[in-house]
Amino acid sequence: MRDKFQTWVDAVCEQVRFWPDRKAIARELRVHYDDHVRDLLRLGRPRELAEERALEAMGNAQEVGWALDRVHKPWLGWLWEASRALVLLLAVLVVVTPREYTTLSTLRDRTRAELDWEEPPASAARVELEHGTLYVLPGEIREQNGHTAAEVHLWIQMRDPLAANGGVNTWFFSWRDDQGDLPRRTYDERTRTWTEGRCWDHGPPWSQGWTRFRQTMVLLLDRPPQWAELSYPPGGDWTVRVEWEAAS
Amino acid sequence: MKIDKSLMSGSTTLLILSLLAGEEMYGYQMITELARRSNQVFELKEGTLYPILHGLEAEGLVSVRERKSPEGRTRKYYRITRKGRRALDQRQEEWVTFREQVDAVVNSAAPA
């Protein structure tokens, strides 16, 4: 008889054109039918008879379906669904967007925290960029494999470096020392690689929002320098000079 | 005593809202309660009840919530809303007027 009820309820739901409501309707009718069967069993009716009576009491499936279809109007149902979707969308905009912003802020802060940063000493040379500030300070000079390695400490603070560099996450700085305009190679301590050529291509690790990082570069030269100048673009907008007092 | 169904059809909404005025109920409970209060005179068909209930919900006269019964079954409970109570008051007034006028006409036809 349970199958007979399913046939009955399927016939009801077939008449309801707004299909998203069918499941709830079927569930409610099922609970009702079960309640009725249980009551009849409690009154001592045999199960088969109880199920038959309960099903009869549900009425004509088609008529019930038509009546429900008149209430569950498709256009009204879809309008309701659309309004719910709109409310959901607004909720996403209102709730999730600030959360996304928070997430970005958190990520930015975390990235900042992960970067090696300490305030530059007052003696550091400084240049104001359009999108930030750069500090440089001369470091140690030492012999290395028949060359002279000269350290330059850099502190870089930038606002939106990606935008500042025309959407490219690579900055081509150029070096010039008192003997000419190039060191043979430059060393990036973060990537632990020596870069060929006169330009140093290094992109900040974080390219959205404010970022700042500290870095030591090593210039591989033929002999100890008196000074070196860093400029960007090569020979371009700004130049900052570092001078080694002890250089001979 | 069986009564003409057409006499009942016009007042089904009034009966349902009256039932819900006292407490929230689920569908099967309404049918049994209606039969009990009317001394088994009003026997609402299950299939008739739900389209009416869903219509009342669409009109905002009742609200629905799902709740677990003490036996652990999840049922839809219907509760009358403020708008439903106002509608009930209005229908009760209409019913009283209707009943008085029917009585007046029926009594006037009684043999002296």
- pLDDT of B14: 92
| B99 within a domain of the structure (yes/no) | yes
Mean of all residue pLDDT scores within chain B: 87
Asked whether the beta carbons of residue A71 and residue B54 sit closer than 8 angstroms, the reply is yes
Of A162-166, A176-180, B16-20, give the lowest mean pLDDT range.
A162-166
Neighbour-count burial of B58, counting CB atoms closer than 10 A to its CB (0-12 exposed, 13-18 middle, 19+ buried):
middle
Mean pLDDT of A181-204: 59
- Residue A177: band (very low, low, confident or very high) from pLDDT cuts 50, 70, 90: confident
Asked whether the beta carbons of residue A70 and residue B51 sit closer than 8 angstroms, the reply is yes
- pLDDT of B24: 93
| A149 within a domain of the structure (yes/no) | yes
Total domains in chain B come to 1
Which residues of chain A have a CB within 8 Å of the CB of B58? 71, 76
Q: Which of B32, B48, B58 minimises the CB distance to A59?
A: B48
- Residue A247: band (very low, low, confident or very high) from pLDDT cuts 50, 70, 90: very low
Inform me whether the pLDDT recorded for A113 exceeds 50. no
Total domains in chain A come to 2
Q: Which of B48, B55, B73 minimises the CB distance to A31?
A: B73
Asked whether the beta carbons of residue A35 and residue B47 sit closer than 8 angstroms, the reply is no
> Do A129 and A237 fall into the same domain?
yes
- pLDDT of A110: 45
Domain span at residue A176 reads: 125-243
The percentage of residues in chain B with a pLDDT greater than 70, rounded to a whole number, is 88
> Do A34 and A143 fall into the same domain?
no
Inform me whether the pLDDT recorded for A188 exceeds 80. no
| B45 within a domain of the structure (yes/no) | yes
- How near does any CA of chain B get to the CA of A6, in Å? 15
Domain span at residue B12 reads: 5-107
d(CA B26, CA B45): 14
- How near does any CA of chain A get to the CA of B85, in Å? 21
Which residues of chain A have a CB within 8 Å of the CB of B47? 12, 58-61, 63-64, 67
- Residue B80: band (very low, low, confident or very high) from pLDDT cuts 50, 70, 90: very high
d(CA B91, CA A243): 97
d(CA A235, CA A174): 7
pLDDT, tens digit (0-9, with 9 covering 90-100), for B30-44: 999 999 998 888 888
| B112 within a domain of the structure (yes/no) | no
Q: What is the pTM of this model?
A: 0.52
**What order do you get walking across the sheet with A193-196 strand by strand?**
A125-129, A132-144, A147-159, A210-221, A185-188, A193-196
- Calculate ∠ Cα A243-A244-A248, nearest 5°: 125
- pLDDT of A236: 63
| A87 within a domain of the structure (yes/no) | no
Mean of all residue pLDDT scores within chain A: 77
- pLDDT of A103: 52
Is 0.90 exceeded by the ipTM? no
**Residue of A35, A63, A75 to mutate, testing the B interface (most B Cβ within 10 Å of its Cβ):** A35
Mean pLDDT of B5-30: 87
Maximum mean pLDDT: which of A23-27, A82-86, A148-152, B45-49: A23-27
CATH number at residue B44: 1.10.10.10
Asked whether the beta carbons of residue A34 and residue B73 sit closer than 8 angstroms, the reply is yes
- pLDDT of B11: 83
- How near does any CA of chain B get to the CA of A34, in Å? 10
Inform me whether the pLDDT recorded for A175 exceeds 70. yes
- How near does any CA of chain A get to the CA of B109, in Å? 38
* DSSP state letter for A96: I
| A103 within a domain of the structure (yes/no) | no
Inform me whether the pLDDT recorded for A212 exceeds 80. no
CATH number at residue A181: 2.60.40
d(CA B26, CA A163): 63
